[in-house]
Structure 1
């Protein structure tokens, strides 16, 4: 990540970015008249993320970027930061001039937008940003905590994006497990345990899904356990490193982006690392069942019966509904072995999510009203929208099987049926499921998102965990 620093010293050789919020732009001395005249001529100058350029070729600064912060909400400031960083060239100094008395939440949003809008995949041919970014404030020390929080959140999101953007020619279960171990190695209080081979005997869903690949599955348990922690949150993330659909093979268009099918695992790992970086006083365990769903003579078949970690069985009807099978094992493991206070699982689970809610909104399922409300609020603050959908009991009869405890992919509304399937595996623990298939990927740059993996969920989880007692 490139550096952002707070300072009260301005340099007219830099490019200036000037947020335009509900109270107009900050005071800019001799530039006030020019900036305010331009705003009067531009109808959307204050719209969140809007960009208006004031060129001053024979003056200093030679360019002023007006970036809209609209209502002044944290989300609007995030959009302003993303607009500013995209308009700045990669090697120039960018100064963002803050209005006097701006809130810490606004500065956090602005900094997150700068970092998230300026993201570059670590292996991309495009050069990473080399120029300095300065936040100009009359009292810089007042915003140090806000900048530190933004830095942790952005770093977690960058990591989740990097992991998800990595091609599956590199990213198999062993590689992904190694990345988690390496990330945890230099952080005190973090431990990572990787299970493979005979250690996975009880993980029937994971073994079935990964059985068709030359890259065997892994199950990683990443744990942050600070002294004195009394609350234990388990985060479960789907980690399918590539999804062909298996025997129920996908068409080409449905398969070409399936390197992103481990976006849930990337998010829960990144959030747990973020919790450790912030020193949050709660115990957090991230579980990532990792497998490649491939086509071969050893691939599992429609009609097979799978025995999960808790001993219950599922009749597989569709090998392209594999995510719920590996999540079921992880949820059952968490319930039996970890005694969590609550479980949140994230998964790029169904295409039905996008049909129902579009490309920027995840589906939220939970029988717990308080947990659902807290996650929704955290997502709103973080800029990751979700919408609660019903766990409709009248659809549960569709899960009935003649030869097993349940069927894996019954008829009915796809995202709801997947959530109902998962509901059987976590016991009486407080639980929420986020189907984030649609918002895990952006087709183009869009405010704080960059084209490609979005890292969806890492920001929400860090916000939510930070608010727990």
Structure 2
């Protein structure tokens, strides 16, 4: 990752980065930009050049905007203006990401923070820097340059150190989730995923890990996970990762879908729908990374994460439409579509959590339906919960982290769509409202945790088609940042 320091005085000035804010400067309130009072005492000639550059480059101060001015044979040799918008945390995240890209070919830059910059501003800037500089490549060929080091000049480095550390851990775990999700499925199978989490957890006090192998899954009755995973040469796994600090009073279970590749099974997908199915374990990556982050930050909340891992493949052993699956705990479902496999593995994990783990709260994340994207577009997850407080807290935490979610209904009259003549439930009703009925199916496995459960259908925002603010093209690591913010509010 990019290296940064918080300093009170810079020891070098190659490229000087000056944040600028939105300001209504004209009588008709046309947006303009203003350079706020800086932590650095800027020479008169530098301020004069900035004052001239702002109108010349038509700077508005919009978050993520940038303008460059070269100063030959002078120090600093380059001025880089970066817009932070109104100066909220989201604006600073966008500014950090823009800086990471705009100065990618620079060895070192110095950011002169405004004199009134808060710890939240530093958190946003650091997160943006570390996430905007993320790159995933399996080979060095064609690798783009990346900014190496940043000095952030603040009035009181010690006062901002905690915010910077939180941002660093959050970004590191988000990058881990991105790496896991971006990795091609030729490498990434259930065993590989479990090994990556085991390696990341090794040496961290308070963490424990258990990985159930296929024989154990069969012995304990995880029928949904076995049905989906049996068609692959790479057998299914159930990863159970726990963070248990001694002072925890609240126990949260996080469940994440971990389909390491999804062909659709016998109900095979077309090519266009299959080519990005390496991302079908993004929910599992997010909850595992968030749990590792909770441990790294020492959050005083107990977290148990369950990631049901499987490849949904086509073979002579693959499960079929019309099969009846017996899930953990005994409920049965009639398979109507083998491409609706995610809910089958999640149902097992949720039922296990309810029966054996006795959590206070249960939240699952899954790249579950394309209907989510149809309803809410590419950047917003669908949230389902009957608990107003839980739903509100999750939406607020996700929003503060830059990860949008919108609460959706769980209509009582849609429950009849789940009725099967030969099993307790249809796995995937055909009447429409695909994201809603998937959530209703999962709710049937929540038992007495029904009113303390939330489901996030996050297929669309798990992937970005291009760079945008702190997002980079490919896996976004959606959910890690929001979950960590939410967990930090619990005691």
Which TM-score tier does this pair reach, normalised by the shorter chain?
Answer: over 0.9
Give 1:259's aligned residue: 278
Instruction: Give the Å deviation of 1:290.
Output: 0.2
What residue number does 1:25 align with? 35
1:211-290 matches, cutoff 5 A: 211-290=230-309
Work out the CA distance in 1 between the residues paired with 2:67 and 2:377. Answer: 29
Structure 1 position 427 matched with structure 2 position 427: no
Q: Map residues 280-319 of structure 1 onto 2, 5 A cutoff.
A: 280-319=299-338
After superposition, the Cα gap between the structure-2 partners of 1:5 and 1:289, relative to the gap in structure 1 and judged at 3 Å, is same
CA contact (8 A) 1:45 1:66 kept: no
- Larger deviation: 300-309 or 135-144? 135-144
User: What is the aligned counterpart of 2:379 among 357, 360, 371?
Assistant: 360
**Aligned partner of 1:155 among 164, 172, 179:** 172
1:21 Cα offset (Å): 2.0
CA distance in 1, matches of 2:139, 2:381: 27
The farther-off stretch of 388-397 and 298-307 is 388-397
Three-state SS of the structure 2 residue aligned to 1:281 is: coil
The counterpart of 1:400, out of the listed 419, 439, 442, is 419
Tell me the TM-score normalized by structure 1.
0.97
CA contact (8 A) 2:13 2:110 kept: no
For 1:284-311, what per-residue CA distance to the aligned partner results, in whole angstroms no more than 9, with x for missing partners? 0010000000001100000000000010
Contact 1:45 1:67 in 2 (8 A): no
Q: Deviations over 1:6-62 (max 9, x none)?
A: 012225542122111247324333311111222233444311111122222343222
1:459 counterpart residue number? 481
Question: Paired residue for 2:132?
Answer: 117
SS at match of 1:33: helix
1:291 counterpart SS class: strand
Q: Which runs of 5+ in 1 are unaligned?
A: none
* Residue 138 of structure 1, CA deviation: 2.4
| Alignment of 1:184 onto 2:222 | no
Structure 2 unaligned blocks of 5 or more: 24-33
Of the structure 1 ranges 275-284 and 33-42, higher mean CA displacement relative to structure 2 is found in 33-42
C-alpha distance in 1, partners of 2:276/2:35? 42
Q: Distance in 2 between matches of 1:98 and 1:44?
A: 18
| 2:404 aligned residue (385, 398, 415) | 385
The aligned residue for residue 82 of structure 2 is 67
Which of 148, 151, 154 is residue 134 of structure 1 equivalent to? 151
CA apart distance, 1:64: 1.6
CA distance in 1, matches of 2:196, 2:393: 30
The count of aligned residue pairs is 469
TM-score (norm 2): 0.93
Give the distance between the partners of 1:260 and 1:82, measured in 2 at CA.
Answer: 23
Equivalents in 2 of 1:68, 1:141: separation in Å? 25
2:366 is aligned to 347
Stretch moving more, 352-361 or 116-125: 116-125
Compared CA separation, residues 270 and 188, structure 1 to 2 (3 A): same
| Contact 1:84-1:114 within 8 A present in 2 as well | yes
Tell whether the 8 Å contact from 1:111 to 1:150 is kept in structure 2 after alignment. Answer: yes
Alignment match of 1:173 (pick from 176, 190, 213): 190
Question: For 2:238, what is the secondary structure of its paired residue?
Answer: strand
Question: Partners of 1:439 and 1:274 in 2: how far apart?
Answer: 21
C-alpha distance after superposition, 1:373-411 (max 9, x if no partner): 000110111010111111111111111101100101102
Query: What is the RMSD of the two structures over their aligned residues, measured on CA atoms?
Result: 1.4
CA distance in 2, matches of 1:283, 1:231: 6
- Report if aligned partners of 2:100, 2:147 keep a CA contact under 8 Å in 1: no
- Write the deviation string for residues 325-344 of structure 1: whole angstroms up to 9, x where unpaired: 00000000000000000011
State the match for 1:37 in structure 2. Answer: 52
SS in 2 for 1:248: coil
The residue number in structure 1 matching 2:438 is: 418
